[in-house]
Structure 1
Amino acid sequence: MSAAPAAHDVWDVGAGYEAYIGRWSRRVAREVVGWLGVGPHARWLDVGCGTGALGDAIAAQAAPALVVGLDRSMGFVAHAHARAGGAHAAFVVADAQALPVRDGAFDAVTSALVLNFVADPAQMVAELARAARPGAPVALYVWDYADGMEYIRRFWDAARALDPAAAALDEAVRFPVCAPGPLAALLEGAGLASVEVRPVEVPTVFRDFAECWAPFLAGQGPAPAYAMALPEDRRAALRVAFRAALPVSADGTIPLRARAWAARGLR
């Protein structure tokens, strides 16, 4: 089989991302916001806000004075803004590695599923720390691509069985930072204190295979971008292999689980 398409991470269409990852990120976000335990009327910064999963959890659970969401994708920022509404949210197109904010401007700084996609993760974490006031929590979470994000893991296992060249595009290979040791080292390297890393597991249940496969046709994220770059016959073969790799309940639903690694420290 010919070489796999080059890595091309597409982040633009909010609805496509929500169907693929955003809805599961929202479940993790609720757990992380609760874990941080930040009191009401705080100023929050959500770096790489995407379609607003973490910002929505902050608004619903933490009674913030303000949530500022930043993301490089204009499409995602527009989607998050349309969902959020209200006077306590603001959204800006910006780079996570060069935040357009003052030092110590926020009472809590967070980021969801972004760290592994930036060119310099250490620079991003340094920027998160810079934006937090002294004593404020800085927190982020990423998927456990190697072992805990079953939906993506089973996709890449099927892809690699058909074409070993796909291994180079697998997030488990590309993103070794998505593990407790590297995450803790990054936060500590940014000067954060009392660093902790914990797993957060959520169910990812699909009503049938059609719902499970459809997000890969929207092209949002590494695996969908890979699927859509394949010729039609190879994509059809991948669909068959992926379906065969999935568990199916008696009612036709596909029960999977997703694990994220959540890390936090204090400025």
Structure 2
Amino acid sequence: MNRQPFDVWAVGAAYERYMGRWSRLVAREFAAWLSCEDKLRWVDVGCGTGVLSAAVTARWRPRTMVGIDRSEGFVAAARTTAPVSAHFIVADAMRLPVRDGACDAAVSGLALNFLPLPAAAVAEMARVVRPGGLIAAYVWDYADGMGFLRRFWDAAVQVDPSAAALDEGRRFPVCRPERLRAVWAEAGLVDVSIASIEVATVFTDFADLWNPFLAGQGPAPGYVAALTPAGRERLREALSAAVPTEPDGSIALTARAWAVSGRKVHAEAT
């Protein structure tokens, strides 16, 4: 099997079933955690289906909100579900189509680790924010805190040891608090804060957990799609044995994200 990562993000509906329903919960907590004010100019970098844009709009009533993502499918989904006051653009997060200092705040949800150079992406976010402006993001704690994915990759490695190379917990060292803090400092940001955000991920039954892995959206589902039918069945059985099932068939897990925020240095402080 090809051991290259399967980082496919294109279909909004498939993403919603796999990750969107959980990322929405985190986005609300993240938006509430931010220290800012109403009527600011925002940019949402790697906006996906618009989950974070919607959460920020509901919490902080932006003057403007622009979401940017390279996936045409995700941007199309964002345009149909996000607030009418938000605008969405297909563009590269590493080259934002925004002039220097045009925004008061730049945020990113669950995207930073998928960008080729996370530190450069944060520097680009800082470029488009005014002095004193906010730069903040959150990522899943793939290594330890993302319950259903942690069990998925542990089961995958049990069946296929070479799958360890695809485990997001190993692939994305930026998704750790100490590394996030370092990236924000490398970008010259100040007043850096880190927070843990944990949400419940309750599945009605094993099918509710397993079926989203069959849709091909993201690294783990992409890995499943590349398996033979027999390999897929072995993985399904291993994962079923690994998750805690309640008497009613439900599976109650938790998912943790790490949030980070900082401020762009004021001109007089440089």
Whether 2:246 is the aligned partner of 1:249: answer: yes
Whether 2:154 is the aligned partner of 1:147: answer: no
Q: Following TM superposition, by how much is the alpha carbon of 1:84 offset from its aligned partner in structure 2, in angstroms?
A: 1.5
3-state SS, counterpart of residue 192 of structure 2? strand
- Normalising by structure 1, report the TM-score: 0.97
Tell whether the 8 Å contact from 1:150 to 1:257 is kept in structure 2 after alignment: yes
Give 1:57's aligned residue.
55
Tell me, in whole angstroms, the C-alpha distance in 2 between the residues paired with 1:214 and 1:5.
22
Q: Following TM superposition, by how much is the alpha carbon of 1:248 offset from its aligned partner in structure 2, in angstroms?
A: 0.9
Give 2:71's aligned residue.
73
3-state SS, counterpart of residue 188 of structure 2? coil
Q: Percent identity?
A: 57
Q: Following TM superposition, by how much is the alpha carbon of 1:219 offset from its aligned partner in structure 2, in angstroms?
A: 0.5
Tell me, in whole angstroms, the C-alpha distance in 2 between the residues paired with 1:162 and 1:128.
41
What's the CA shift string for 1:109-167, capped at 9, x where partnerless? Answer: 10011111111111100011111111111100000000000111100000000111000
Matches within 5 A, 1:2-17: 3=1, 5-17=3-15
Tell whether the 8 Å contact from 2:57 to 2:83 is kept in structure 1 after alignment: no
Give 2:82's aligned residue.
84
Q: Following TM superposition, by how much is the alpha carbon of 1:37 offset from its aligned partner in structure 2, in angstroms?
A: 3.2
Give 1:103's aligned residue.
100
Count of equivalent residues: 264
Whether 2:228 is the aligned partner of 1:221: answer: no
Give 2:159's aligned residue.
162
What's the CA shift string for 1:163-205, capped at 9, x where partnerless? Answer: 1100000001111111011100100111110111111000000
Give 2:131's aligned residue.
134
Deviating above 3 A after TM superposition, structure 1's stretches of 4 or more consecutive aligned residues are none
Tell whether the 8 Å contact from 2:51 to 2:82 is kept in structure 1 after alignment: no
Write the letter of the residue equivalent to 1:129. Answer: A
Structure 1 residue ranges without an equivalent (≥5): none
What's the CA shift string for 1:212-245, capped at 9, x where partnerless? Answer: 1111011000000000100111001101111111
Q: Following TM superposition, by how much is the alpha carbon of 1:49 offset from its aligned partner in structure 2, in angstroms?
A: 0.3
Tell me, in whole angstroms, the C-alpha distance in 1 between the residues paired with 2:3 and 2:235.
14
Give 1:119's aligned residue.
116
Tell me, in whole angstroms, the C-alpha distance in 1 between the residues paired with 2:64 and 2:197.
26
Write the letter of the residue equivalent to 2:113. Answer: N
What's the Cα RMSD here?
1.0
Write the letter of the residue equivalent to 1:206. Answer: F
3-state SS, counterpart of residue 155 of structure 1? helix
Matches within 5 A, 1:203-222: 203-222=200-219
Tell whether the 8 Å contact from 1:149 to 1:257 is kept in structure 2 after alignment: yes
3-state SS, counterpart of residue 158 of structure 2? helix
Write the letter of the residue equivalent to 1:157. Answer: D
Which moves more between the two structures, 157-166 or 52-61?
52-61
Q: Following TM superposition, by how much is the alpha carbon of 1:85 offset from its aligned partner in structure 2, in angstroms?
A: 4.3
Tell me, in whole angstroms, the C-alpha distance in 2 between the residues paired with 1:31 and 1:85.
18
Tell me, in whole angstroms, the C-alpha distance in 2 between the residues paired with 1:26 and 1:136.
24
Q: Following TM superposition, by how much is the alpha carbon of 1:75 offset from its aligned partner in structure 2, in angstroms?
A: 0.3
3-state SS, counterpart of residue 210 of structure 1? helix
Tell me, in whole angstroms, the C-alpha distance in 1 between the residues paired with 2:40 and 2:83.
18
Instruction: Choose the corresponding residue for 1:27, options 5, 25, 28.
Output: 25
Tell whether the 8 Å contact from 2:143 to 2:169 is kept in structure 1 after alignment: yes
Tell whether the 8 Å contact from 1:203 to 1:257 is kept in structure 2 after alignment: yes
